[in-house]
Amino acid sequence: MTLSQSATRAVTPGGLVDRPGSRQQSEVTRLLPVWVIALVIAAIGLFVLAPLLYIFLASINSDISVARGDFWPAEFTLENYSKIWSSVGLANALTNSIIAAGATAVISAVLAIGTAYVLVRYQFFGRLTILRALLGLQSVPGTLLVLPVFVLFSSAATTLGITVIGTRWGLIVTYLTFALPFSTWVMVTYLRGLPKELEEAARIDGASNLGILTRIILPLSWPGIIVSAIFAFLLGWNDVLFASVMTRPDTQTAAVALQIFATGTEGGAIPFYGQMMAASLVCAAPVVILYLFFQKYLVGGLTAGGVK
């Protein structure tokens, strides 16, 4: 063995081992064997994909077969996907969900980055109180605020003559009360990881506070903005509690439409299980596409601020 070869090996109580990072050392220090890891991954994948497979097969099966308990369709059909647009009223409901959840995501992301920049970069009286309040608001259950929000908006209609309940913008305002604190805290965590030297260099060049925010902070904060916007979007997309109280039939969201359709068909002779499964997949598709499209931003945004 030459000197260079011996330098790549280390002596341990158990004998000679390869240099750090080698394949032999990685196999020795691995916590679980490869076959155990593969088995665990396969079990988790089966646990997640089995319900999705059943939903998909039920959506292309007839209602009678699904009610009978047949897992594999006797005849593949796309009839359920054509019926849901009239039976569930999914087109109008999806439009309302996209408008309400999309507007909530955009508005909360825009307001959150400006608010978070002030909270992170400036020292003023009450700053810590605001930061603690942002965390405290996350612990308040939404069910406790349904009645106060409804009474507040009803009072606005009687006192100010402004109709809030039953409108899309009223639902957006309701979602912002929950989405904005969370989005602000996400951006606070993200902006703490950005170096201050970039802002100091911009100030030397004569940039204003607004210029620094729009030209320096905003381009560097896209991962955090995407994360806060997606979580705000999911808040509005998955909500049933507030949407069922704050909307009327022409402004109800997809989640409420699915709930009403499922409740209305429970007492029937043959529940429309196939149509419910098809409608569920159609409503889940925008969220899946959103995650796939912004996947790289989500990974960067969620891990930002974790290491100081």
Shared-domain flag, residues 59 and 151: no
* Alpha-carbon gap, residue 279 to 215, rounded angstroms: 43
Number of domains observed in the structure of the chain? 2
Residue 195: strand, helix, or coil:
coil
Shared-domain flag, residues 155 and 62: no
Is residue 91 in some structural domain?
yes
Q: Identify the CATH number of the domain in which residue 245 sits.
A: 1.10.3720.10
pLDDT-based confidence at residue 106 (cuts at 50, 70, 90): very high
Q: Which residues, listed in sequence order, are joined to residue 11 by a DSSP beta bridge?
A: 16
Mean pLDDT confidence for 66-84: 83
Contact 90, 84 (CB under 8 A): yes
pLDDT value at residue 63: 77
Domain housing 43: 3-82
Q: What is the 3-state secondary structure (H, E, C) of 224-258?
A: HHHHHHHHHHHHHHHCCHHHHHHCCCCCCCHHHHH
Residue 12: strand, helix, or coil:
strand
Taking alpha carbons only, the member of 270, 268, 277, 280 closest to residue 65 is 270
Which tokens go with 152?
Answer: 């507040």
Shared-domain flag, residues 137 and 277: yes
Q: Is the pLDDT of residue 102 over 90?
A: yes
**Structural domain ending residue among the three candidates 38, 56, 82:** 82
Mean pLDDT confidence for 98-102: 93
**185-229 pLDDT tens trace:** 889 988 888 888 888 888 888 888 888 888 888 888 888 898 889
Contact 279, 88 (CB under 8 A): yes
Which tokens go with 131?
Answer: 């930061």
pTM: 0.79
Is residue 229 in some structural domain?
yes
Shared-domain flag, residues 225 and 76: no
pLDDT-based confidence at residue 266 (cuts at 50, 70, 90): low
pLDDT-based confidence at residue 17 (cuts at 50, 70, 90): very low
* Rounded to 5°, angle at Cα 180 from 190 and 147: 150
Q: Which residues, listed in sequence order, are joined to residue 16 by a DSSP beta bridge?
A: 11
* Alpha-carbon gap, residue 187 to 181, rounded angstroms: 10
**46-72 exposure pattern, b = at least 16 Cβ within 10 A, e = fewer:** eeeeeeeeeeebbbbbbbebbbeeeee
Shared-domain flag, residues 218 and 241: yes
Shared-domain flag, residues 165 and 279: yes
**H helix or E strand, kind and range, residue 11:** strand 10-12
Shared-domain flag, residues 76 and 59: yes
Shared-domain flag, residues 72 and 115: no
Taking alpha carbons only, the member of 304, 297, 270, 284 closest to residue 66 is 270
Q: Which region, left, alpha or beta, applies to residue 34 given φ > 0 means left and ψ of -120 to 50 means alpha?
A: alpha
Q: Is the pLDDT of residue 75 over 50?
A: yes
Query: Of 16-25, 132-141, 220-229, where does the model show the most confidence?
Result: 220-229
Mean pLDDT confidence for 288-302: 76
Among 20-34, 99-113, 173-187, the range scoring the smallest mean pLDDT is: 20-34
Q: Is the pLDDT of residue 2 over 60?
A: no
Contact 171, 219 (CB under 8 A): no
Shared-domain flag, residues 169 and 233: yes
Is residue 65 in some structural domain?
yes
Q: Which residues contact 223 (CB under 8 A, 6 or more apart)?
A: 190, 297, 298, 300, 301, 304
* Alpha-carbon gap, residue 221 to 217, rounded angstroms: 6
**57-70 pLDDT tens trace:** 988 888 788 877 77
Tell me how far CA of residue 136 lies from CA of 8, 164, 184, 208, in angstroms. 54, 27, 13, 33
Alpha helices, DSSP H only, in the chain? Answer: 3-7, 23-29, 34-59, 63-68, 79-87, 90-121, 127-137, 146-159, 168-191, 197-204, 209-212, 218-220, 222-238, 241-246, 254-264, 273-293, 295-303
